Amino acid sequence: MSWGTNVLVGQSGGPTAVINSSLAGVYEAAKALGAAHVYGMEYGIQGLLQGKIVDLDDRLDDKMEIELLKRTPSSYLGSCRFKLPNPATDERPFVQLFELFAKYCIGAVFYIGGNDSMDTIAKLSAYGAAKGSEIRFIGVPKTIDNDLMYTDHTPGYGSAAKYIATILKEVICDSSVYNIRSVTVAEIMGRHTGWLAGAASLAAGADCNGPDIILLPERPFDENVFLEKVAQLEKDRHNVIIAASEGVKNKDGVFLCDLVSTAGQLDAFGHKAILSGTSRYLADLIHVRLGCKTRAIEFSTLQRCASHLASRTDITEAYQVGGASVEAAYRGETGKMCAIRRISDMPYRTETEMVDVQKVANLEKRVPDDWISPDGMHVTESFHHYARPLIQAELTPIYIDGVPRHLHLH
C-alpha cells in the first residue's frame, strides 16, 4: 500500500536513556518498508513550526551509527515542551504544519514522548481527519515517570529504575561507613506518581536491605506518623535510608518542596516545571525534630539519561515500539499510540499493541493502592514482581579513550 513518499519523526518532553533507541526503531522500520526519506524534527513540534527539519538519511547511513544512536542518552533530535492550541480557537499552527507536511511529502508522523506529547498526536490526528488528510499520526511512548495509561510500562522507566536501584545501593554502602547514627534522604523524580520512587525498593537483595522508607505521591504525607516511624527505625539501626518522590504532598495538598521554595514555575501543560527540595525539607524536619544527623541527596537529572546503566530490556523494548509504530502506520492506523502488553512474568514476555491516543493524552497512571504498604511508606512484593523484569541485563557502551562514544546531530 502507499503511505506517502516520506515520514517524519520527532522527540518531545524530558529525555531518557533509551528515547534514541525508539528513534532508531522508527528509522530502520521506515526504511525497510520503503520510505524514500526519513525526516527528523529538530526540537520537536516547536522546532518544526520554525522550519527546523533534518534528513536523517544523511546522518544514519550505516549500522554503526544506529548502534551508537541506541547507546546515546538524551534526545538526539532535541526536544521541547510545547502545547498545540485547540484548533477551534487558533488554527494557524495546524495550517502551517500541514503545509510543511505537504512540502516534504509526509505520509506518516511519529512523535516520541509522554502523555503531553500524546496530546500533540491526538490534536494532529483529529485535525487531519477533519480535513480529510491521509497522513497517519502515531505516538511512540517514552517517559521515565512510567505514568502513561493503557500500557504495561513505558520505555525509559526500566533504565531510570535500574539507575535508581544501583545508585541507592551505593548510597547505602556510603552511609554505613561511620559509627554514627544518621538518616539519609534520597529525592527521586516521578512528578505526580511514585513509580520511580518505588524502584528504590529494587536495591534490596541478599547483600542489601534497601531503603527503610519510601514516600510516594499516591499517599499524603503525615508529618507526625512519619517522624514516629523514623524515630523507631533509628532505635533499631545506625543508618536509616529514606527514598522520597519529588512529588510528595502533605494532607493539605501542598508539595513538600514548596515548603522549602516556591520557585516552581508551570510548563506549557500546567505542570510544575521544577519539583526540587523534598529531600531538603525532610532532612531538616528530621534534624530539628529528632536531633540526629541527616543528609539530603537529589539524584536530579542524572537518573534520566544514565545510558551507562541502561537496562538492555528497556533498550530493546524502546526499539521495538518504534518499529511497531511504523508498521501500524503502514497498515493504515492513525490516532494511536504503540503500547506494551505483558504476557507473562516468568519468563518475562511482552508484545506491542495499538491503543487510541485520545485515551492516553494528558492522563496519568498511578501506582495501584494494593502495591503500596498499609502504612503508605513502602511498596509491596507485587511492585517488585512488576518492576524487576524491566531492569534486567545491560548493553555495554562503545568506549573510546576510556569514555562512552555518543552520536550527536550537531
How many helices (DSSP H) and strands (DSSP E) are in the chain?
11, 13
Those residues whose C-beta lies under 8 Å from the C-beta of residue 354, and which sit 6 or more positions away, are 328, 333, 336, 337, 338, 339
User: By the 8 A CB rule, do 165 and 379 touch?
Assistant: no
Indicate the pairing of strand 106-113 with strand 6-11.
parallel
Cα–Cα distance, 394 to 256 (Å, whole number): 35
HSE-up (13 A, CA, CB side) for residue 194? 28
**Residue in the block written with cell 531492569:** 391
Strand partners, 410: none
- Transcribe 294-331 into DSSP letters: EEEEE-GGGGT--GGG-BHHHHHHHHHHHHHHHHHHHH
Active site residue 152: no
CA distance 238 to 179: 7
Angle (nearest 5°) at CA 200 between 190 and 263: 35
Pairing of strands 213-215, 239-245: parallel
- The radius of gyration of the chain's CA atoms, rounded to the nearest angstrom, is 22
Omega of the bond prior to 85 within 30 degrees of 0, cis? no
- Residue 258, SS3? helix
Separation of alpha carbons 168 and 72, rounded Å:
23
294: left (phi > 0), else alpha (psi -120 to 50), else beta? beta
- How far apart (Å, rounded) are the C-alpha atoms in residues 137 and 263? 37
Phi, psi of 184 (to 5 degrees): -110, 130
Instruction: Please tell me which residue in 145, 147, 212, 314 is annotated as part of the active site.
Output: 145
Within 89-222, residue ranges assigned H as helices are: 92-103, 115-130, 157-175, 195-199
Cβ-contact 246, 275 below 8 angstroms: yes
Q: Which residues are catalytic?
A: 145
